[in-house]
Amino acid sequence: MHQKLQVSNNTAIKRLIYSHLLSMLSIYAYKDNIPSIDNDKINLYKSRDINRILYISGVALQLSKSQNRKGIEIACAIASHISANYGDELIIEIVPPGYIYLVLTDPILAAWLQCLTEGIWREEKRGGAGKVGRGETQIENSSRLFAVQYAHARCCSLLRLAQQEGLIKFGDKNVNTSSAMGSVISPNPIPWLNCDRKFRFSHSATKRLISELVQVVDDLECAYEAGSVNWEKAAINLSQAFELFWCNCRIWGEVKITSPELSQARLGLVIATQSVLKFLLEEKLGIFALVEL
């Protein structure tokens, strides 16, 4: 029976795919009457390809050593189980000698972005605290992070303007304060996809921003796997991706008039970026996430 990938407010894409890859490996092991691979030994990492959200697993090559079978054969068998259960959410590719490529489809990525815009994952991770955290990184010269604070303030400015112009409406909390903003009341959900269930945006700057958001949340949720993360670098990379997006992807003017849904989708990325930048600044770097400069 076809299953659905369950996207939750506190789940990284990597953890999501890992759990379902583990599930399919169990089915494969049961049907072929072979021992299951240890959970902590399943190889899975995110590709640097910004044009798609791609994860690569070499688990078939790991299994081939103990089963005396070609990695490509094992990869095809595992991929068959994944396609049968999650074919609408994941595009599977097999690459010799036995790598499994798992690419997120637009609908599942849109669902994840929608959760990210709601900001619940951030509040749960900080325990609902309203104060700036102590941070995990010692910053000797916080001026290096001014660009990150600036990007966060720019996000807040754009969202205030969007709310004033009626493009988007928030709940009780809003970006005029230092507190977390409320959920988006309208539009809900944000119109990420067109009638063909494809993303409304295709610019490379948009793809880079989404890729950075996925990477940061992966690192936040899977820190035990990521090892030592340079949170300052992560914050700077995300802020740079946002600035590139802001310079190349218009929200106002003709776009707002002729394609308001595209404007709202781009604003959704602004909301997601603001949410993640705020968490990085306050909880990982221990400095204020300014809402204006």
Mean per-residue pLDDT pooled into runs of 10, the chain (293 residues): 52 86 78 61 89 94 84 91 86 95 95 84 51 55 82 95 92 51 82 96 96 95 73 96 96 94 97 95 92 85
Structure token digits, residue 4: 């659905």
Q: How far apart are CA 65 and CA 137, in angstroms?
A: 41
According to the model, what pLDDT value does residue 134 have? 54
Strands (E) in 137-204, as ranges, are: 169-170, 184-186
Sheet holding 90-95, edge to edge: 45-46, 54-57, 99-104, 90-95
152: phi then psi, degrees, rounded to nearest 5: -65, -45
Instruction: Give the CATH architecture of domain 121-284.
Output: Orthogonal Bundle (1.10)
Amino acid at 95: V
According to the model, what pLDDT value does residue 23 have? 82
Q: Please tell me the number of Cα atoms within 13 Å of 118 on its side-chain side.
A: 18
According to the model, what pLDDT value does residue 33 have? 63
Which of 208-217 are b and which e, b meaning 16 or more Cβ less than 10 Å from the residue's Cβ?
A: bbbbbbbbbb
pTM metric for this prediction: 0.88
Same fold across 13-104 and 121-284: no
Amino acid at 208: R
- Residues 6+ positions from 114 with CB-CB distance below 8 Å: 189, 190, 192, 268
Which sequence spans correspond to the domains of the chain?
13-104, 121-284
- Does the domain made of 13-104 have the CATH classification 3.40.47.10? no
